[in-house]
């Protein structure tokens, strides 16, 4: 089995800190969610993953975006760039970068679930004929920086609410148990799901923290109207060894 080759020490340099593991779930209400999978160029296969995770062939990026009406952190929008992988035999994603539109959401995503969130402008808009997503730095107007991400998706086609599958995220964070991959699951309760034909119009890989990411072919895209529950963290893994050797229960 192929394993990741990224330096754990280098990945840890920008990792968030979870001071204490929470015991309560977080519920997000009135969510418009976008889910997209795109193939990546070969150099991003194992080079972006720590040794404890295993790449898939061909490599793929999972992009997730939420426009949230209600949460413990208030209304916010967020986007997550993840690399599809496996932890042992289980399908997972490794979160490379994340962005959220409010300081409270950034703090909550980092301190409770280990997402490497940064503050940014995140605009997810659903229309009768499609969806648009734009993510840009908060200081774009002052320094001329371009967008972190822009995509458009058209021609929505209704799906059964049971057709949409979500894969958990492995987030590298400093925890009370040490540097660990934090396993974050999301439970989705969709009322409407549509698939779309999507196009990535701009993607600044360096702005998301990993210059090797080069999504070049969109495999699938969907949008959903839903509520989301994020349970408290139950498992973490040592990023340097396979899951069978390094998994620990925290709850």
Each residue of 202-226: pLDDT tens digit?
999 999 999 999 999 999 999 999 9
Domain of residue 49 covers 8-249
How many domains does the structure of the chain reveal?
1
SS3 content of the chain, % helix, strand, coil (to 5): 10, 55, 35
| Whether 226 contacts 191, CB under 8 Å | yes
Given a cut of 80, whether residue 139 has pLDDT beyond it is no
Structural domain includes residue 206: yes
Indicate the helix (H) or strand (E) that contains 193. strand 187-203
Structural domain includes residue 1: no
Rounded CA-CA distance 233/230 in Å is: 9
Structural domain includes residue 167: yes
Q: How far is CA 11 from CA 8, 119, 123, 171, in A?
A: 5, 20, 28, 11
Residue in this structure with the two tokens 């209600």, named with its chain if needed: 70
**DSSP reduced 3-state for 85:** strand
Structural domain includes residue 3: no
| Whether 159 contacts 194, CB under 8 Å | yes
pLDDT per position as a tens digit, 73-127: 999 999 999 999 999 989 999 999 999 999 999 999 999 999 999 999 999 999 9
The CATH code of the domain that includes 111 is 2.40.400.10
pLDDT band at 142 (very low <50, low <70, confident <90, very high): very low
pLDDT per position as a tens digit, 30-50: 999 999 999 999 989 999 999
Q: 217 pairs with which residues across the strands?
A: 39
Structural domain includes residue 128: yes
Peptide bond into 250 cis (omega under 30): no
Please state, as a whole number, how many other Cβ atoms lie within 10 Å of the Cβ of residue 56: 14
Structural domain includes residue 101: yes
Structural domain includes residue 49: yes
Structural domain includes residue 29: yes
Calculate what percentage of the chain has a pLDDT beyond 90.
91
């Amino acid at each position: 089995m192929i394993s990741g080759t990224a330096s754990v020490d280098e990945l840890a340099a920008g990792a968030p800190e979870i001071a204490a593991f929470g015991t309560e779930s977080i519920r997000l209400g009135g969510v418009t969610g976008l889910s997209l999978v795109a193939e990546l160029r070969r150099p991003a296969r194992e080079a972006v993953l720590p040794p404890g995770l295993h790449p898939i062939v061909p490599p793929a990026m999972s992009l997730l975006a939420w426009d949230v009406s209600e949460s413990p952190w208030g209304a916010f929008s967020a986007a997550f760039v993840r690399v599809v992988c496996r932890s042992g035999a289980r399908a997972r994603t490794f979160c490379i970068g994340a962005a959220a539109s409010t300081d409270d959401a950034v703090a909550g995503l980092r301190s409770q679930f280990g997402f490497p969130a940064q503050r940014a402008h995140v605009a997810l808009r659903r229309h009768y004929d499609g969806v648009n997503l734009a993510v840009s730095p908060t200081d774009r107007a002052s320094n001329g920086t371009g967008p972190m991400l822009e995509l458009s998706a058209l021609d929505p086609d209704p799906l059964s609410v049971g057709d949409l599958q979500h894969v958990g995220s492995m987030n590298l964070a400093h925890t009370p148990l040490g540097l660990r991959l934090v396993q974050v699951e999301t439970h989705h309760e969709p009322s409407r799901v549509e698939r779309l034909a999507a196009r990535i119009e701009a993607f600044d890989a360096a702005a998301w923290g990993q210059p090797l990411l080069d999504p070049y072919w969109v495999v699938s895209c969907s949008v959903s109207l839903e509520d989301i529950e994020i349970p408290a963290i139950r498992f973490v893994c040592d990023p340097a060894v396979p899951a069978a050797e390094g998994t620990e229960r925290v709850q």
